[in-house]
Structure 1
């Protein structure tokens, strides 16, 4: 199974966790049984899911900031999770080129998202790709200050 398939698995797990309020391990079990997997792909998918969930407050703050004309809660759940996965890769995984993260997210959007998802996701991620340090540092400090209030 390729990294692309692992990203699909991670997206399906995040979707299941959010929509069904399912535990992560339970969601992985369901996705693995339904679609099959290899150990390497599941390991990478687990890293992505864990990273996206552990950093969700920061990632969601970035999404809110960059999707000015869209209410965050009205964004399609699939789109939100595709963006979360890609942002996690772009901001926290130095081993993955940012262009790869953007392209993979756009490809996921073409398969799993709506008609305008790929364009919307490309626009959001393109802004971060231009200056990733700005978004990670700004949002982490903003989230920390909100949590301490």
Structure 2
């Protein structure tokens, strides 16, 4: 299992949920259907689902993806309030959908995924921001999440 790729896919799916205003169950159902179709088809290994080579999806922790997407959807108001406490002079709805998705995943991990060290969650969030957003966003996300864990201790 590749946790980094798993988080990346989770972020893409959460972004898709936000853009298309879709429910987690719809996204999860589509993901499972696409994976199943790819596994049973005769396509070569360079086929892609959600921007990932299908061969890479074998290493994805689908249980994590499902748990986090459903958990974020179920606890979205609480997660939004938690994040907004640490957004100085900002509102969550003013952030990019990518940055918002990254913050929600990491905040959800802090609160519900006890087996993941907070520093690992923050580092992965920063890497996702660098890849899909900007250096400024990566610094901003680092600050928000750093203050969040500092405050919780």
TM class by smaller structure: 0.7 to 0.9
Does residue 78 (structure 1) correspond to residue 98 (structure 2)? The answer is yes
Equivalent-residue separation in structure 1 for 2:5 and 2:76 (angstroms): 22
1:1-149 mapped onto 2 (5 Å cutoff) = 1-28=1-28, 29=30, 32=35, 33-34=49-50, 35=52, 36=54, 37-38=57-58, 40-132=60-152
Equivalent-residue separation in structure 2 for 1:23 and 1:62 (angstroms): 21
- Structure 1: tracts of 5 or more residues without a match: 134-149
Cα displacement (A) at 1:39 = 6.9
Higher alpha-carbon deviation: 105-114 or 18-27: 18-27
- Structure 2: tracts of 5 or more residues without a match: 36-48
Cα displacement (A) at 1:65 = 1.5
TM-score (norm 1): 0.80
Q: Which runs of structure 1 show a deviation greater than 3 angstroms over 4 or more consecutive aligned residues?
A: 30-34
Whose helix fraction is larger, Structure 1's or Structure 2's?
1
Say how many residue pairs are matched. Answer: 133
Contact 2:5 2:60 in 1 (8 A): no
State which structure, 1 or 2, has the greater radius of gyration over its C-alpha atoms.
2
Equivalent-residue separation in structure 2 for 1:72 and 1:115 (angstroms): 19
Contact 1:10 1:49 in 2 (8 A): yes
